[in-house]
Amino acid sequence: MDDSNQQKVSQISGAEIIMRCLQEENVKFVFGYPGGAVLHIYDALFKQNHFKHILVRHEQAAVHAADAFSRATGEVGVALVTSGPGATNAVTGIATAYMDSIPMVVISGQVPTAAIGMDAFQEVDMVGVTRPCVKHNFLIKDVRDIAITLKKAFYIAASGRPGPVVVDIPKDITAEFAEFDYPKTIEMRSYTPVVKGHSGQIKKAVKILLEAKRPMVYAGGGLVLGDASNELVKLARALGYPVTNTLMGLGGYPATDKQYLGMLGMHGTYEANNAMQDCDVLLAVGARFDDRVIGNPDHFLSVPRTIIHIDVDPSSISKRVKVDVPIVGHVQSVLAEMNEVLAAETIKPDAAALKTWWAKIDVWRAKKSASYDGSSSTIIKPQYVIEKLCEVTKGDAFVTSDVGQHQMWAAQYYKFDKPRRWINSGGLGTMGVGLPYAMGCQLAFPDAQVACVTGEGSIQMNIQELSTCKQFHLPIKVILLNNRYLGMVRQWQEFFYENRYSESYMDSLPDFVKLAESYGLIGMNIDKPGDVEGALQDAFAMKDKFVFMNFMTDQKENVFPMVPNGKGISEMILGSDTNANDAADEMEG
Amino acid sequence: MKHIISLLMENEAGALSRVAGLFSARAYNIESLTVAPTEDATLSRMTIVTSGSDEVIEQIIKQLNKLVDVVKVLDLNDGRYIERELMLVKVKATGALREEMKRISDIFRGRIIDVADGSYTIELTGSGSKLDAFIEALDKTVILETVRTGASGIGRGDRILKV
């Protein structure tokens, strides 16, 4: 702009425009870290009081925390980072959100327009770097485009199949002046996500469901993201059919409901995996038949079944498994319409067939595949800690996790009855998310109980955030299941690499209690099974305190059931197998 | 099976890299890709020649539609279409070859667009297979250089891809 230095009265700076946009979007928290390219933005941020900025200690944590804020609330998470290393540090967080379809807007600073392409200090091609792991991204080249671009970014992030959107803004653009005009609505000819499902397909789906002899409902992260839990519960109860949730769908269908078979997949229950394999009609809701869920697709497809698949993203349908009745649409509205069609239907589910089917499921259930030997009075079993955590928090906490064995135990043993309570990295499997995820949840719900279930490997990947927790008085409870191993790596090495524990032992661990105390936080060591429950009660009684709980757990405990890589989901190794290790060797062979 | 996919996308910086990136990230084949603005300067028209099973092609179409900048996608193989590609071939044209090259070019309805002491440059338009056939018809030793644009495609009759 020629007159960029001569500010008209009604004009404001690009940095101020960004603040106004965030205000218009009702943003409550911006997670970020300042740096050269975003100094104008941070100056404008200093002068506003519409949202709170949370200063993290590493940009990766800013993005994870914004991601968790979104997972817990359903709102769009916002992160702000500087150019170059700030931007690349954010990439793991962006990819994590992308894999789990989390709506987020990440604003990154960029070097001044004239310096782009000059290998300038702290320059990186952020649009190029993030292209494969964002829903969309923008590089703004004119101050007059800031408002419309941010409007588009929020719209794209939250609509259709949600996802992260990166907006890269050169420093000079944030210093120039323009009128602020935020559009109320936006239409893009190139982006028109489908919302309503096809009525004909919905009727057909209900008809097929009613004709089922061995029905099964399989619901994933899309159910939670689409806020469709109530609709699914209504449908499942009206039909009386069994339901399983994926790792990402936990809480979408209440875990304590009698129709719930537990989680399915690589570490799913015996009953959920067998019912998934043996069913004749499968209703898939907001799930994507991924490799950790259905195992080997050829094995899964070796038995005939009719599949109905509801998903907002057409590209998720018939990607790994060919489906018979695709329904593209928002899961909430599609399930609501299915409930209406079902209510008007005179045909009822086949009661006799259903009785036989439930009898078969009860035989599988009787295996009690999600159980462990808790007889030791000297060694703490990690599963026991999670069971007690669930009891002490009355199953109503926000539970974030990192990635590994502890994640699976948390998923198996914490009974989630509500959606948006289980916050973990399902798709990308990012170690280090647990603590920043807990920060995002605790800020969203200051009075809620927030537990970060983690391992000594994962927690050290973002341990610096203890400082952020201290600064913002976040009363998180860290539940560290400390087995001195990278447990899941060790488990695979035991099963599939003849006990060669290559680089999976964690040596030279810090004294976690002293570490917590050095930040002014509370630490606890727990090493006897008899102390577990009392310690948890003590910790959660300290409602306004951050407590770091270091549980010394069984070093050799494994996660069961387990479907070895490349096997079908009904080909499980159970913990009760006389020699699970040999069973694993045999299957691998 | 070979498919020709046509698409219209917003004529914005980086649009081409989004399509190219999608093909490499998901390990889809890409035989050729051409792109240029249309009569509406805000839109670019792209023609992609790819191959794969029906399932793979279905995924390619869905994934292309999912790109935020893509306005419309059409698999030309779903109906009748015309495919054209332009090729420039520089061939040796010395002695007896001078006459020979002229004759082969005429048979394929090519045009000689540059004449030098030792070479001709032949311009040839047609389907990819016609251009392949021309190359096949030439002795490899006479070919000095070839350059092809990649295919452009358009539906026949009232099959129109427009916003």
pLDDT exceeds 70 at position A579? no
Decide if A136 and B14 are in contact by the 8 Å CB cutoff.
no
Instruction: Kindly give, in sequence order, each residue whose CB lies less than 8 Å from that of residue B154, ignoring residues fewer than 6 positions away.
Output: B6, B76, B81, B82, B161
Chain B positions touching chain A (beta carbons under 8 Å): 9-10, 13-14, 17-18, 21, 25, 55, 58-59, 62-63, 65-66, 68-71, 163
pLDDT exceeds 50 at position B109? yes
The second-level CATH assignment, the architecture, of A199-365 is 3-Layer(aba) Sandwich (3.40)
Helix (H, G, I), strand (E, B) or coil at B23: helix
Structure token digits, residue A78:
């916002």
Asked if the structure places residue B161 within a domain, the reply is no
Instruction: Kindly give, in sequence order, each residue whose CB lies less than 8 Å from that of residue B158, ignoring residues fewer than 6 positions away.
Output: none
Spatial distance between the Cα atoms of A236 and A232, rounded to a whole number of angstroms: 6
Is A171 among the residues known to form the active site? yes
From the list A132, A190, A318, the residue facing B10 with the nearest CB is A190
Q: How many residues does chain B have?
A: 163
Give me the phi and psi of B90, to 5 degrees please.
-100, 120
Angle between helices A382-392 and A405-413 (to 10 degrees): 40
Asked if the structure places residue B162 within a domain, the reply is no
Q: Are A570 and A266 in contact (CB under 8 A)?
A: no
- Helix, strand and coil content of chain A, in percent to the nearest 5, comes to 40, 15, 40
Cα of A536 to nearest chain B Cα, Å: 46
∠ CA A166-B70-B162, nearest 5°, is: 150
Q: Which of A240, A196, A233 is nearest to A214 (CA)?
A: A240
Mean pLDDT of B62-83: 96
Decide if B62 and A188 are in contact by the 8 Å CB cutoff.
no
Query: Which of B52, B79, B106 is where one domain is finished?
Result: B79
pLDDT the model gives residue A9: 79
Instruction: Kindly give, in sequence order, each residue whose CB lies less than 8 Å from that of residue A160, ignoring residues fewer than 6 positions away.
Output: A191, A193, A194, A312, A313
Decide if B9 and A190 are in contact by the 8 Å CB cutoff.
yes
Mean pLDDT of A294-300: 92
A248 touches chain B (CB under 8 A): no
Decide if A132 and B25 are in contact by the 8 Å CB cutoff.
yes
Residue tagged 């979408």 (tokens): A252
Cα of A22 to nearest chain B Cα, Å: 22
Asked if the structure places residue B18 within a domain, the reply is yes
pLDDT the model gives residue A577: 72
Work out the pLDDT band at B45, boundaries 50, 70, 90: very high
Helix (H, G, I), strand (E, B) or coil at A99: helix
Structure token digits, residue A114:
């004239």
From the list B9, B66, B70, the residue facing A315 with the nearest CB is B66
Spatial distance between the Cα atoms of A292 and A314, rounded to a whole number of angstroms: 21
Give me the phi and psi of A285, to 5 degrees please.
-120, 115
Q: Which of A573, A463, A488, A484 is nearest to A527 (CA)?
A: A484
Give me the phi and psi of A53, to 5 degrees please.
-95, 130
Cα of A250 to nearest chain B Cα, Å: 27
* DSSP assignments along A130-155, one per residue: HGGGSSEEEE--SGGGHHHHHHHHHH
Is A551 among the residues known to form the active site? no
B70 contacts on A by Cβ (under 8 Å): 190
A55 touches chain B (CB under 8 A): no
Decide if A190 and B14 are in contact by the 8 Å CB cutoff.
no
From the list B14, B68, B71, the residue facing A127 with the nearest CB is B14
Residue tagged 């038949």 (tokens): A289
Residue of B nearest to A131 (CA): B18
Same domain, B104 and B54: no
Decide if B68 and A135 are in contact by the 8 Å CB cutoff.
yes
Cα of A193 to nearest chain B Cα, Å: 9
Domains of chain B: total: 2
Q: What is the DSSP letter of A197?
A: P
Decide if B17 and A132 are in contact by the 8 Å CB cutoff.
no
End-to-end CA gap in chain A = 68
A199 touches chain B (CB under 8 A): no
Spatial distance between the Cα atoms of A130 and A104, rounded to a whole number of angstroms: 14
Q: What is the CATH number of the domain that holds B106?
A: 3.30.70.1150
Q: Are A537 and A243 in contact (CB under 8 A)?
A: no
Spatial distance between the Cα atoms of A15 and A150, rounded to a whole number of angstroms: 12
* DSSP assignments along A242-307, one per residue: -EEE-GGGTTSS-TTSTTEEEE-STT--HHHHHHHHH-SEEEEES----HHHHB-HHHHTTS--EE
pLDDT the model gives residue A238: 97
Work out the pLDDT band at A583, boundaries 50, 70, 90: low
Count of CB atoms within 10 A of residue B58's CB?
Answer: 18
Same domain, B47 and B95: no
Structure token digits, residue A442:
């605790």
Residue A499 Rama label (left phi>0; alpha psi -120 to 50; beta): left
pLDDT exceeds 80 at position A521? yes
Q: Are A83 and A110 in contact (CB under 8 A)?
A: yes
CA distances (Å), origin A547, targets A333, A459, B82 = 42, 14, 70
Work out the pLDDT band at A441, boundaries 50, 70, 90: very high
User: Which 3-state string (H, E, C) describes A469-522?
Assistant: HHHCCCCCEEEEEECCECHHHHHHHHHHCCCCCCCCECCCCCCHHHHHHHCCCE
Same domain, B22 and B67: yes
Spatial distance between the Cα atoms of A242 and B121, rounded to a whole number of angstroms: 71
Asked if the structure places residue B158 within a domain, the reply is no
Work out the pLDDT band at A575, boundaries 50, 70, 90: confident
Q: Which of A309, A279, A54, A41 is nearest to A167 (CA)?
A: A41
Same domain, B59 and B98: no
pLDDT exceeds 90 at position A281? yes
Decide if A131 and B65 are in contact by the 8 Å CB cutoff.
no
Asked if the structure places residue B118 within a domain, the reply is yes
Count of CB atoms within 10 A of residue A245's CB?
Answer: 34
Count of CB atoms within 10 A of residue A570's CB?
Answer: 18
Give me the phi and psi of A4, to 5 degrees please.
-60, -25
A322 contacts on B by Cβ (under 8 Å): 55
Mean pLDDT of B45-72: 96
Which of B24, B68, B71 is the best mutation test for A, with the most CBs of A within 10 A? B68
Spatial distance between the Cα atoms of A440 and A456, rounded to a whole number of angstroms: 21
pLDDT exceeds 60 at position B163? yes
Decide if B21 and A313 are in contact by the 8 Å CB cutoff.
no
Work out the pLDDT band at A584, boundaries 50, 70, 90: low
Spatial distance between the Cα atoms of A77 and A79, rounded to a whole number of angstroms: 7
Is A122 among the residues known to form the active site? yes
- Stretch among A373-377, A535-539, B48-52 having the lowest mean pLDDT: A373-377
Q: Are B86 and B149 in contact (CB under 8 A)?
A: yes
From the list A127, A188, A314, the residue facing B62 with the nearest CB is A314
pLDDT exceeds 70 at position A382? yes
B56 contacts on A by Cβ (under 8 Å): none
Same domain, B45 and B21: yes
A313 touches chain B (CB under 8 A): yes
Same domain, B32 and B74: yes
Catalytic one of A23, A24, A122, A472: A122
From the list A132, A189, A322, the residue facing B21 with the nearest CB is A132
Catalytic one of A121, A207, A340, A348: A121
Cα of B73 to nearest chain A Cα, Å: 11
**A11-179 carries CATH number 3.30.1330.80:** no
Structure token digits, residue A565:
């890589």
Work out the pLDDT band at A1, boundaries 50, 70, 90: very low
Cα of A467 to nearest chain B Cα, Å: 38
From the list A128, A132, A189, the residue facing B71 with the nearest CB is A189
Residue of A nearest to B63 (CA): A315
Same domain, B46 and B113: no
Residues B69-105, buried b or exposed e (16+ Cβ, 10 A)? bbbbbbbbeeeebebbbbbbbbbbbeeebbebbbebb
Work out the pLDDT band at A589, boundaries 50, 70, 90: very low
For residue A582, give the amino acid letter.
D
Helix (H, G, I), strand (E, B) or coil at B50: strand
Residue of A nearest to B10 (CA): A190
Count of CB atoms within 10 A of residue A164's CB?
Answer: 35
Q: What is the DSSP letter of B120?
A: E
Residue tagged 């379809």 (tokens): A101
pLDDT exceeds 90 at position A556? yes
pLDDT the model gives residue A386: 98
Decide if B59 and A315 are in contact by the 8 Å CB cutoff.
yes
Domain with B52, as residue range(s), is 2-79
Cα of B62 to nearest chain A Cα, Å: 5
From the list A131, A136, A322, the residue facing B17 with the nearest CB is A131
A190 contacts on B by Cβ (under 8 Å): 9-10, 68-71
Decide if A139 and B163 are in contact by the 8 Å CB cutoff.
no
Q: What is the CATH number of the domain that holds B72?
A: 3.30.70.260
Q: What is the DSSP letter of A76?
A: P
Same domain, B93 and B73: no
Query: Which of B30, B52, B79 is where one domain is finished?
Result: B79
Mean pLDDT of A464-488: 98
User: Which element (helix H / strand E) includes A332?
Assistant: helix A331-343
Spatial distance between the Cα atoms of A333 and A325, rounded to a whole number of angstroms: 17
- Those of residues 324-343 in A touching chain B at CB distance below 8 A are none
A132 touches chain B (CB under 8 A): yes
Q: Are strands B111-115 and B119-126 parallel, antiparallel or unpaired?
A: antiparallel
Q: What is the DSSP letter of A385?
A: H
Residue B2 Rama label (left phi>0; alpha psi -120 to 50; beta): beta
Strands (DSSP E) found in B17-151: 32-37, 43-51, 70-75, 81-92, 111-115, 119-126, 143-148
Mean pLDDT of A130-142: 98
Is A488 among the residues known to form the active site? yes
pLDDT exceeds 60 at position A109? yes
User: What residue segments make up the domains of chain A, in order of their start?
Assistant: 11-179, 199-365, 382-552
Is A51 among the residues known to form the active site? no
Question: How many pairs of residues across A and B have Cβ atoms under 8 Å apart?
Answer: 38
Fold designation for A382-552: Rossmann fold (3.40.50)
Spatial distance between the Cα atoms of A556 and A16, rounded to a whole number of angstroms: 56
pLDDT the model gives residue B146: 98
Instruction: Kindly give, in sequence order, each residue whose CB lies less than 8 Å from that of residue B99, ignoring residues fewer than 6 positions away.
Output: none
Cα of B17 to nearest chain A Cα, Å: 9
